[in-house]
Structure 1
Amino acid sequence: MAPDTTGGPTGPTAGAGRGPGEGSGGRVAAQAAEITLDPAAVTALREELGTVARQTVAAIMEEVPAYDAPFQGRMGRVIERAVQVSLESFVELAAEGGPPGRARPVGVGVTAARELGQVEARQGRPVDALLAAYRVGARVSWRELSRSAVAAGVDAATLGRFAELVFTYIDELSAASVAGHNAESASAERERQVHVHRLTRGLLGAEPEATLRREAEEARWTPPRTLTALLVPRDRLPTTLGLLDPRTLTLTEDLPDADGAPPPATHAVALVPETGGPARSRLLQLLEGRDAIAGPARPWHRVVESYARAVRALPHGQVDADAVLPQVLLAADPAARADLRQAALAPFAELPEATADRLAETLRAWLLLQGRRELVAEELHVHPQTVRYRMSQVRELVGDRLSDPDEVLAMILALA
Structure 2
Amino acid sequence: MPRSDAGRDPGRVTGLALDPEIITALQSALPRIAEQTVAAVTIEVPSYSRAFSGRMGRNIETAVRMTLGALVQIAARTEDSIHASPLPAALDAAYELGRGEARNGRSTDALLAAYRVGARASWREMAATAVSGGLPALSVARFAELAFAFIDELSAASIAGHEDESATSGRVRQHYLDQLGQKILTGRSDDTLIAGAERANWQPPSTLTAVLLPIAQTRGLVSRFGESTLHITEDLPEVDASDSLALLFVPDMGGAARAELMQRLEDRTAIVGPPREWMQARSSYDRALRTRALVPTGTKGPVDSDDYLVQLILTADEQALADLRQRTLAPLSDLRGATAERLEKTLLSWLLHLGQRDRVAADLYVHAQTVRYRMSQVRDVYGDQLNDPRTVLELIVALSASE
TM-score by length of 2: 0.86
Contact 1:86 1:106 in 2 (8 A): no
Q: Which residue of 1 aligns with 2:29?
A: 48
Say if 2:358 is the partner of 1:374. Answer: yes
2:273 to 274, 291, 295: 295
Contact 1:377 1:387 in 2 (8 A): yes
1:413 to 393, 397, 401: 397
Q: In structure 1, the residue corresponding to 2:250 is in which secondary structure?
A: strand
**1:106–1:241: structure 2 CA closer, same or farther, 3 Å change rule?**
closer
Q: Which residue of 1 aligns with 2:320?
A: 336
Q: Which residue of 1 aligns with 2:63?
A: 82
Question: 1:263, CA displacement in angstroms?
Answer: 10
Return the alpha-carbon distance in structure 2 between the equivalents of residues 321 and 359 of structure 1. Answer: 31
5+ unaligned residues in a row in structure 1: which ranges? 1-9, 11-23
Contact 1:53 1:141 in 2 (8 A): yes
Q: Please say which of residues 402-411 and 54-63 is displaced more in the overlay.
A: 54-63
Q: RMSD of aligned C-alpha atoms? A: 2.8
For these two proteins, the number of residue pairs brought into alignment is 387
Quote the sequence identity (%): 48
**1:25–1:80: structure 2 CA closer, same or farther, 3 Å change rule?**
farther
Contact 1:26 1:105 in 2 (8 A): no
Q: Which residue of 1 aligns with 2:286?
A: 308
1:281 to 259, 264, 269: 259
Return the alpha-carbon distance in structure 2 between the equivalents of residues 364 and 231 of structure 1. Answer: 34
5+ unaligned residues in a row in structure 2: which ranges? 3-7, 297-301
Return the alpha-carbon distance in structure 1 between the equivalents of residues 247 and 234 of structure 2. Answer: 9
**1:94–1:393: structure 2 CA closer, same or farther, 3 Å change rule?**
closer
Contact 2:71 2:150 in 1 (8 A): no
Give the letter for the 2:248 counterpart: A
Return the alpha-carbon distance in structure 1 between the equivalents of residues 26 and 158 of structure 2. Answer: 28
Q: Pairwise mapping of residues 6-405 of structure 1 onto structure 2 (< 5 A)?
A: 26-27=10-11, 31-32=14-15, 35-92=16-73, 94-95=75-76, 98-100=78-80, 104-106=84-86, 109-238=90-219, 240-241=221-222, 243-257=224-238, 265=243, 267-288=245-266, 290-314=268-292, 315-316=294-295, 319-405=303-389
Return the alpha-carbon distance in structure 1 between the equivalents of residues 83 and 226 of structure 2. Answer: 54
What are the Cα deviations for residues 202-260 of structure 1, in whole angstroms up to 9, with x where unaligned? Answer: 33333333332322222222222222222223332225556444533222333224xxx
Q: In structure 2, the residue corresponding to 1:311 is in which secondary structure?
A: helix
Contact 2:73 2:86 in 1 (8 A): no
Q: Please say which of residues 400-409 and 314-323 is displaced more in the overlay.
A: 314-323
Give the letter for the 1:67 counterpart: Y
Q: Please say which of residues 267-276 and 233-242 is displaced more in the overlay.
A: 233-242
Question: 1:341, CA displacement in angstroms?
Answer: 0.5
Return the alpha-carbon distance in structure 1 between the equivalents of residues 242 and 24 of structure 2. Answer: 79
Q: In structure 1, the residue corresponding to 2:303 is in which secondary structure?
A: coil
**1:279–1:159: structure 2 CA closer, same or farther, 3 Å change rule?**
same
**1:100–1:300: structure 2 CA closer, same or farther, 3 Å change rule?**
same
Contact 1:287 1:319 in 2 (8 A): no
